[in-house]
């Protein structure tokens, strides 16, 4: 059976707007929307020597988080490297219903994950599942598939062997309001407090 993400890629010529309601703070759970059934959710846990969850991180600063992977609990160093922001015209091209993207732009967060401890992975990783993008205090709308081929981004379903010391960059794509003054990249466990990296708006 194809992974859900792979199936979406085959079935739709444009990105899938999975969380149209999240810009208002509601909507379907992101992890449930994009990953295959039976996959575990990301679990974040900071050690005393690291920033605690709920902390605001400095540019380039990494957080330490634990993710419950299929192979077992893996500790990662996690860094939000940058957010690439597109144009309103580009956002319009990414969705089937143009009205959903009116006044919106595509924001792509580049998240670097370094395997710090725990078992080596032998299947795809859930590390990127805890990532969300916020603009001016409101969560954006998740776009599945929009960053699959973006420069510098890797598909987590293609990473099937991951050992301690190795790093991979996974990207998450959201629609956010055009001309947002401030963007935030959050990474957290499903119900936990996020680590927060701030980036300037357009």
Query: According to the model, what pLDDT value does residue 159 have?
Result: 86
CATH of the domain at 97: 2.60.40.1240
Note down the domain range covering 9. 4-200
Query: According to the model, what pLDDT value does residue 54 have?
Result: 66
Query: According to the model, what pLDDT value does residue 178 have?
Result: 95
Residue ranges for the chain with pLDDT beneath 70 = 1-54, 148, 190
Our count of domains for the chain comes to 1
Helix, coil or strand: residue 158: helix
**Which helix (DSSP H) or strand (DSSP E) does residue 133 occupy?**
strand 131-135
Query: According to the model, what pLDDT value does residue 16 have?
Result: 60
Query: According to the model, what pLDDT value does residue 29 have?
Result: 44
Helix, coil or strand: residue 190: coil
Query: According to the model, what pLDDT value does residue 116 have?
Result: 96
Query: According to the model, what pLDDT value does residue 43 have?
Result: 36
């Amino acid at each position: 059976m194809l992974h859900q993400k792979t199936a979406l890629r085959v079935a739709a010529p444009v990105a899938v707007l999975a969380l149209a309601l999240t810009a208002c703070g509601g909507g379907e759970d992101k992890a449930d929307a994009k990953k295959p059934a039976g996959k575990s959710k990301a679990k974040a846990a900071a050690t005393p020597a690291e920033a605690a969850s709920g902390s605001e991180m400095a540019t380039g600063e990494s957080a330490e988080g634990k993710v419950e992977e299929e192979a077992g609990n893996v500790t990662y160093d996690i860094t939000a490297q940058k957010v690439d922001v597109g144009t309103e015209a580009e956002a319009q091209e990414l969705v089937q219903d143009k009205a959903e993207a009116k006044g919106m732009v595509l924001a792509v967060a580049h998240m670097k994950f370094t395997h710090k401890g725990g078992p080596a992975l032998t299947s795809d990783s859930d590390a990127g599942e805890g990532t969300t993008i916020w603009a001016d205090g409101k969560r954006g709308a998740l776009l599945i598939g929009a960053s699959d081929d973006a420069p510098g981004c890797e598909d987590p379903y293609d990473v099937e062997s991951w050992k301690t010391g190795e790093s991979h960059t996974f990207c998450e794509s959201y629609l956010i309001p055009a001309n947002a003054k401030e963007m935030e990249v959050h990474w957290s466990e499903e119900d936990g407090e996020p680590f927060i990296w701030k980036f300037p708006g357009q």
